[in-house]
Amino acid sequence: MKITWYTTEFSIYYSILAYVLYIRIDKLNYVEEKKLSRNMKNTLRYNPPEDWNPKKHKYNNHFFGLVKACTWISETLRMKIRTYEDQSFNLLEIGSYKGESTSIFAASGIFEKIFCMDPFEGEEIALNLLDDEWKDVKRNFYTNTRHWDNIHLIQDYSYNQVNNFYDEFFDVIYIDAEHSYESVKKEIELYKPKCKWIIGGHDYGVGEHPGVTDAVNEAFGKPDFTFTDSSWFKILK
């Protein structure tokens, strides 16, 4: 009977302790939820503003559009290259901002090496749209790409770096830097020779960036494929 009493007493103390801890944890969770709610920010792909997602999609097209594009890239390379499984592919992303698209490319598992070029300075529409500062953008880039060790950041303008790579060094190039006609045209002219299989980019057919569409159409006639996130791609061979 004595053993049973101590066992019961222990159970009571244990229950009280568990209840106190539950209240404490629940309180902490409540505080954390309020903190997260206060600090939530819109981003370009992970959490875009609601009016960026057309209601017809019923999903975050800025995220899933690029995910689908990665599937297409993998399938296209597989069809083009007989020894696909034995190849190592390099990606160049010109204009990485917070590394959201970079993380999607990395998570796809397609690329052995991913090179990102971004000076993290200068004019950028997204800074005003999302109330960002360059120092926070760069910090977020490292946060969003921290899970992969095959991402190489080159903090510079792409035109300063073009001669550091031989022709067809990259298997895939994705252009998403400055969106003027002159800038996109220059990026295509400089980096098309550096790309072996697929060149593409972002914001094709977007009303706010007519220069992107004009430069792409002038260079290629039109893209071979576009996706719901406004990504465009041209197969080079």
pLDDT, tens digit (0-9, with 9 covering 90-100), for 107-163: 999 999 999 999 999 988 888 888 899 999 999 999 999 999 999 999 999 999 999
Q: Per the confidence metrics, is the pTM higher than 0.95?
A: no
Strands 170-175 and 90-94: parallel
Q: What's the burial of 22, exposed, middle or buried (CB within 10 Å: 0-12/13-18/19+)?
A: exposed
Question: CATH number of the domain that 140 lies in?
Answer: 3.40.50.150
pLDDT digits (tens, 9 = 90+) for 25-35: 554 554 455 44
With respect to residue 45, please indicate whether it lies within any of the assigned structural domains: no
In a shared domain, residues 71 and 180: yes
63 and 100 part of one domain:
yes
One domain for residues 135 and 200: yes
Same domain, 152 and 67: yes
Residues 6+ apart with CB under 8 A from 94: 117, 118, 158, 173, 174, 175, 176, 177, 187, 191, 201
The answer to whether residues 61 and 134 belong to one domain is yes
Number of domains observed in the structure of the chain = 2
Q: Is residue 101 part of a domain?
A: yes
Q: Has residue 14 got a pLDDT over 80?
A: no
Torsion of the alpha carbons at 128, 130, 135 and 140, rounded to the nearest 10: -160
**C-alpha angle 36-39-45 in degrees, rounded to nearest 5:** 95
199 and 119 in a single domain? The answer is yes
Question: Do residue 58 and residue 32 come from a single domain?
Answer: no
Q: b/e string for 4-16 if b means 16 or more Cβ within 10 A?
A: eeeeeeeeeeeee
Mean pLDDT across the stretch 81-102?
95
Note down the domain range covering 96. Answer: 50-235
10 and 54 part of one domain: no
